[in-house]
Structure 1
Amino acid sequence: MAPKAGDGDATLLLGSRTSNPQREEFLQVARPFLRGDLHAIDPALPGLLAVLRETGAAECWHKHGTFLEHLQDVYRILKIWGASDAVARCGLFHSAYSNSYVNLAIFTPDVDRQRVRDLVSCEAERLIHLFCIVPRHALIHDTLLFRFTDEELREGLRNQDSECIHKLRGILPPEGINVKHIRSGEDVQLPRAVVAIFLLLTMADFIDQLTGWQDALFGNDNGTLAWSGNNWAALWPGNGKPGLWMSAISRMGVLLNLILREENVESIQLPPVFNYCTVVLDAEDQIRARDLYWEAVHVKGSGLETLESVEPLLTQASTYNPWVGEPHVLLSQVYLSKGEFEKAEAEASKGLCLLLQWGTNWDKRVSWEGWIAWCRVLHSKAQEKVWSQSAWDIINLGLVK
């Protein structure tokens, strides 16, 4: 379960030198996933994954890998964010009957619902079935996300009697919201608590799978995730550039925060990202940060001269978007190479804390586990005040304590 928010101080949540206990607490939550200790996470998890493999989920393509990898990653994110077993299992099977976004029905809803109930529990299967029949794009994007400006959301956080709050109550009244079944067109009633769960699930779903390829596919140049373009010829998997999804996720997080202030949903809690969903990241700032980061990783040259040009790019990137870990990880290596060990330790600590909070990686050229392992190497070497300028020594790094 995710650690609870402290006093709301951003430097604490970003893993400064004084926040080692919180960083270690996040690491303890993530460690069973890093070590593949499936029984410790959920005794039923090994069997659930075996069923998904048997259905062919590992043979289905999905965005930046296989369907099984995506389901596992969404499950991991939800568990790290403190979701209940029922919600996390919904994440693990969230597209199993197919849904409004993907055609991946590895179970037939008219035939296999009892089988899925027996596997995951009645509560989880009910969520899975609902998740697969609601018009999720219309619900999350049209009904919620794009009905509010950034400033309205910020005012909603500040003032419980703001126009934002009244508008949200009008959209999501106490009795819930009525949507149309995506296949039959029948009315489906969603309680506010289920809408909150689906917001959280959508956040986890999106952050695992979105990369620069989807930005090219849908023309997401402004970073709002409106998905209004149609560049169907965009070649997969793209150039590996991080996707422009963080601003939209911050907005979803604030909406989730506002709903949970009025609706008691015991099965979920606020994710630790964006200071426990209390920050709206400007869409233009995320673009500036991403582009500065991408410029830094493509700087030509070698040695200290290259580091001098990379450092300000990464520093600016982490200023525009302080909520993503990878720029801090790269900065840590820069400072290690320059012998500035205290700075290197602070940046590695920030990067590690953020990567652990997200439960996934922003730069998907390397796996989440790979980023964490590398970041922990940097942090360890910074504490030891040792770094090498030998290529052979650097590729021999690996052990973390």
Structure 2
Amino acid sequence: MTDSPRLFPDLDDTLLQRALPLLDDEWLQRDADLAPVLPVVLARGVGQDWHKAGTFRHHLVGVARSLTLWQQPSDVRLLGLLHSVYGNAFVDLVKFDAASERQRLQGVIGEAAEHLVHLFCTMSRAQFVQKVLAGEVQEDGSLQVELNGAAPRQGVRLSAYEVAAFAIVSMADTIEQWFSWQDEIFSRFPGTDTSRRQAVHWGASLWPGPMRPTARMVSQVAALGRALQHPALKGQLPLPPVFDGCQQALAPQHEAAASALYWSVVQLAQPLVDLDAATATLEQAVQLNPWVGEPQMVLAQLYLSAGRGEDAERAARGALQQFCTWGNAWDKRVQWDAWVAWTRILLQSAAQGSWPERLDKLNNLALR
């Protein structure tokens, strides 16, 4: 008898209804705050620039989507849409010249949002993450960080609002872009070893690599979320719904093990005649990391294949809940909207007590 009732969270219908409109590619054009800005960004060629697992446009829109799902105010959502347009220490994608075009961008998004964008691009983001994770946020919520540039670097004191905004945008930024290729080239971020030579580590450098989910960054996102429980930060902005409203931690060793277990199943490294080993492996993965949807979704399909309809329904609902908390995929082999769409098919099939017996019939499944 399965212990699946303990494995999977309940589905929050309010959160689901908030996520469903964001599945439509046109959601951004309907957004009153972001739609007027989109043509200005697209005119700078962001749809043609490579960025991590897609294009720069995919990345900017994905970050803004999570922030929209997390009900962030317009200035924070605009920061998400524009968070690298002045360039930064990580990416050389300068779409606006900070020396000459700040006023132009202010005219489009307003001074408050542009201030956040400029500061986020010009501060040391690695140092920001290091200090937040080290608990160096002051009693009043402020944080001293250095600006990018040659030593000696100029310092700036972030307000509590800026610290909260930058932590939340960093969470969305990380989950949107991070997969195994970045685990390799940016290993141990924010303490990346910059001495590693590409020619020596050529195997790790081949893009996009095996496209495994990250084995180390979800726990870091959880830690950033936990930092938002700081008394001076907690009321600054709506807390993202991930990790039970940023209340829960994820141990790095649990994340790594869960990722490996999940990958062993999807790469068919488990016995293929019976379902029991793959099912047990995924159940263990979910227990170790219950905060991402993909392992729960795959487990729902295994339950359906085994005729375990009630367990499949619980797993599918749990997967859908986690997808709706993130607004981005953990397993980036397919996009977030595709994961949600297949999960809804699994949930529908489990509720109806049906699942195709023939392989070709899997191609005919449709949401009713």
Quick check: TM above 0.5?
A: yes
| Contact 1:58–1:68 (Cα < 8 Å) also in 2 | yes
C-alpha distance in structure 1 between counterparts of 2:270 and 2:252, whole Å: 31
Partner of 2:145: 179
Residues 250-293 of structure 1 deviation map (CA, whole Å, 9 limit, x = unaligned): 111111222xx324654x21111111111111111111101110
* Counterparts in 2 of 1:331 and 1:379: CA distance versus 1, 3 Å: same
Taking structure 1 as the reference length, the TM-score comes to: 0.83
Q: Distance in 1 between matches of 2:339 and 2:235?
A: 33
Contact 2:323 2:329 in 1 (8 A): yes
Aligned to 2:170, which of 195, 202, 216?
202
Partner of 2:74: 85
2:301·2:346 contact (CA, 8 Å) conserved in 1? yes
Partners of 1:216 and 1:231 within 8 A in 2? no
The correspondence of residues 215-294 of structure 1 with structure 2, limited to 5 A, is 215-220=183-188, 226-228=191-193, 230=196, 232=198, 233=202, 234-244=205-215, 245-258=217-230, 261-263=231-233, 265-266=235-236, 268-294=237-263
Larger RCO, structure (CA 8 Å, separation 6 or more): 2
Determine if the alignment matches structure 1 residue 72 to structure 2 residue 61: yes
Comparing 37-46 and 356-365, the one that deviates more: 37-46
- Aligned position for 2:132: 144
For structure 2, the residue ranges without an aligned partner over 5 or more in a row are none
* Richer in helix (by share): 1
- Counterpart residue type for residue 353 of structure 2: K
Equivalents in 2 of 1:126, 1:250: separation in Å?
A: 27
Paired residues for 1:356-367 under 5 Å: 356-367=324-335
Residues 1:13 and 1:33: Cα distance change in structure 2 (over 3 Å): farther
Q: Deviations over 1:340-386 (max 9, x none)?
A: 11111000000000011011111110100000000000000111101
Q: Among the aligned pairs, what percent are the same residue?
A: 34
Which residue, out of 29, 33, 51, partners 2:18? 29
2:9 matched residue in structure 1: 15
- The alignment status of 1:296 with 2:261, answered yes or no, reads no
1:279–1:175: structure 2 CA closer, same or farther, 3 Å change rule?
closer
Structure 1 residue corresponding to 2:112, chosen from 98, 104, 123: 123
What are the Cα deviations for residues 110-162 of structure 1, in whole angstroms up to 9, with x where unaligned? Answer: 22112211222221111101111111111211x221x25xxxxxxxxxxxxxx
Structure 2 residue identity aligned to 1:360: N
The question of whether the paired residues in 1 share the 8 Å contact of 2:47 and 2:56 is answered with: yes
Among candidates 383, 393, 397, match of residue 361 of structure 2: 393
Partner in structure 2 of residue 162 of structure 1: none
The 5 Å alignment of 1:47-62 reads 47-62=36-51
Q: What is the alpha-carbon distance in structure 1 between the residues aligned to residue 66 and residue 138 of structure 2? A: 26
- Mapped partners of 1:329, 1:108: distance in 2: 44
Q: Distance in 2 between matches of 1:86 and 1:219?
A: 31
Residues 271 and 277, structure 2, Cα contact 8 Å, conserved in 1:
no
- CA-CA distance at 1:77 after TM superposition: 0.6
Instruction: Give the aligned residue type for 2:232.
Output: E
What is residue 114 of structure 1 aligned with on the other side? 103
Q: Which runs of 5+ in 1 are unaligned?
A: 1-10, 149-167
- What is the CA distance between 1:42 and its match in structure 2? 2.0
Partners in 2 of 1:110 and 1:277 — Cα distance?
37
CA positional deviation for 1:338: 1.3
Whole-Å Cα distance in 2 between the matches of residues 67 and 383 of structure 1? 39
Query: Does structure 2 conserve the Cα–Cα contact (< 8 Å) formed by 1:135 and 1:180?
Result: yes
What SS class does the counterpart of residue 104 from structure 1 fall into?
A: coil
One-letter code aligned to 2:192: W
Shift of 1:186: 3.3
**Distance (whole Å) between structure 1 residues aligned to residue 76 and residue 270 of structure 2:** 48
User: Is the Cα–Cα contact under 8 Å of residues 293 and 319 in structure 2 kept in the other structure?
Assistant: yes
- The amino acid of 2:161's aligned partner reads A
Question: C-alpha displacement at 1:300, in angstroms?
Answer: 5.7
Distance 1:377 1:96, change over 3 A: same
CA distance in 2, matches of 1:89, 1:351: 29
Alignment partners' CA distance in 1, 2:18 and 2:197: 40
Q: How many pairs were matched up?
A: 355
